[in-house]
Amino acid sequence: MLFYVDGVCGSGKTVTAIQKIAARVKTGETIIYATSTKALLKQTMSGLEELGVEVDLIISDSDSGSDSYSFQDSVEKRLLAGICALEDNPRVILCITSSLIKVASKITNGLKFPLFIDEGFGVVDSGEYNSKTQSEIQGVMYFLGLSESKPEGYSHHSQYELPDKLKKLKLYSENRCLYEIETNVGQAKFEWVAYLKLPDFLECFSEVTMLAACFEDTVDYYAAKAFGVKLVALDWGLDKEHYSNGKVTLCWVLNNNEWRTNFVRKLKSDQIERIVEEYSSMDTGLFISVKRIGQDLNLEFDFIDDDGHVIPKPESDSLTVCSHGFNSFLDYNRFISLHCQMPFPFLNKFLKTKFKMTDEQIRKAFYHYLCYQSAMRISLRTSSKKAPIDVDTSFCFGDKSTAMYFESKLSKSVRVEHHQLDIGKRIDKKQPRSDKVSANRKEQNNRMADRKKLIALGFEEKGELADKLLILRDWRRAHVGNRLTDKIIKDLVGASVK
């Protein structure tokens, strides 16, 4: 069984959870609370300490982001020791979710404690690695224990360093009690998906409660359904939609197409810049924008990178794609996100086959949901049914479907305005193909048939043949429904039919 709290982003799940956890600890219970970020853990610790609850915060003290596995092991050993010593010492253990998953199956003495997980637990992860040779991939798989076939010439020694892109996979391969790994090996490409065996993980605790906003839209929810886990929604009396006395303006670029990486890459940099400029000119207020993870803040606004990430103006600010509850930009009333993020094809196929997700559900869980989470860092986050804000807010997304997902989280009482950007109306169509490329499969088939006829007519030089093919293609486009006869071909290309 998996409990989840029903409520939208900013509705107060963490604050309410802190109060409920404190009350249970004071009756003699021990609780484990896990989330994905240190900042949120420390924020939760402060809230519990204010209520007089004893807490143990077990995380690394390093801010360097070291990849030292021996150091990580020491954190996990401390966490395991702390959990196993809690039987007669009621308190709250605060830890990182990934560390907890790594030690969950090792908890001994028959101890099972209630667990609260904030911000979700990432039930699935994936990656890919391009290699120069297939033998290297086979060696990596054998090294990680993912294959029993030892490649010829393989030499196992302690000096071997895994490529950085595969270090995450090593952690999953070392925790096969709770993780399954699926792989796809090509000639020089290695793709992998690691997913949590959810029922086995839940069995390690007396109960598990999820605090993620709109949990039913997350991949964790679909994973639980696929595993046959019983899902129970908890009604804590939190807002299930957003309220505002101010107007909410929803802008988007594409009306008929989805905002995806392959589309953005076809846009010229000045087109993307004009999108931001047009949105900026709609109001005098400053805006918050989504940036690439790891990108420095407050850079000059002089370009948009190839993936469509906005480099904010000095007076603006930016946040990461995967934003969390501690990311607060409540002084801003405007938001723009032009990032592109969807699963790799191998993961996409896995989600359809293993978790039974549709394309629409995958798009919602991996793109719409993240856009919504990021957008709810601004002032609308503090607006509630009991205390709605009076400020007008505006949001700009890459496509209409994302904007409509965001609107689905608003109360029907909120005044909403829709606006497709003018530049969006000009680019919201299929990009024109090269003049020498067929527009569809029917034109491709006609082109192949025309090529055979033109070669029979003696047009064999590459340039001349291509020009004649275009003449025939353009005639068909101008005379839809008419048959292109041999006589017409003769007239068009100036040759006698043999």
pLDDT tens digit sequence for 313-358: 434 556 565 655 556 778 889 999 888 878 888 999 999 999 999 9
Which class is 248-427 in CATH? Answer: alpha beta
pLDDT of residue 159: 53
* Greatest C-alpha distance within the chain: 99
2-121+198-234 in CATH: which number?
A: 3.40.50.300
d(CA 260, CA 8): 26
pLDDT of residue 264: 82
pLDDT beyond 50 at 252: yes
**C-alpha 61, offset from chain centre:** 28
Instruction: Render pLDDT for 16-66 as a digit per residue (tens, 0 to 9).
Output: 999 999 999 999 999 999 998 888 899 899 999 999 999 989 887 654 344
E strand intervals along 237-304: 248-254, 288-291
Long-range Cβ contacts of 165-173 (<8 Å, 24+ apart): 165/127, 165/128, 165/129, 166/127, 166/129, 166/140, 167/67, 168/125, 168/127, 169/127, 169/144, 169/194, 170/69, 170/144, 171/69, 171/98, 171/102, 172/125, 173/144, 173/145, 173/146
Q: 225 to each of 119, 120, 178, 343, how far by Cα in Å? A: 19, 15, 18, 20
pLDDT of residue 321: 58
Instruction: Kindly tell me the number of DSSP H helices and DSSP E strands found in the chain.
Output: 18, 16
pLDDT of residue 299: 35
**Mean of pLDDT values over 191-215:** 94
Please tell me what DSSP assigns to residue 312: -
pLDDT beyond 70 at 496: no
Instruction: Render pLDDT for 397-413 as a digit per residue (tens, 0 to 9).
Output: 999 999 999 999 999 99
Q: DSSP letters of 448-495?
A: HHHHHHHHHTT--SHHHHHHHHHHHHHHHHHSTT----HHHHHHHHT-
Q: Specify the 3-state DSSP secondary structure of 238.
A: coil
**Mean of pLDDT values over 194-200:** 96
Domain boundaries, the chain: 2-121+198-234, 124-154+162-195, 248-427, 441-493
Only one residue has tokens 């409660």, namely 209
Please tell me the pTM assigned to this model.
Answer: 0.77
pLDDT of residue 66: 42
Q: Does 2-121+198-234 match 248-427 in CATH topology?
A: yes
Q: Which residues contact 345 (CB under 8 A, 6 or more apart)?
A: none
Both tokens of 189, joined, read 């490409």
Pairing outcome for strands 416-420 and 248-254? parallel
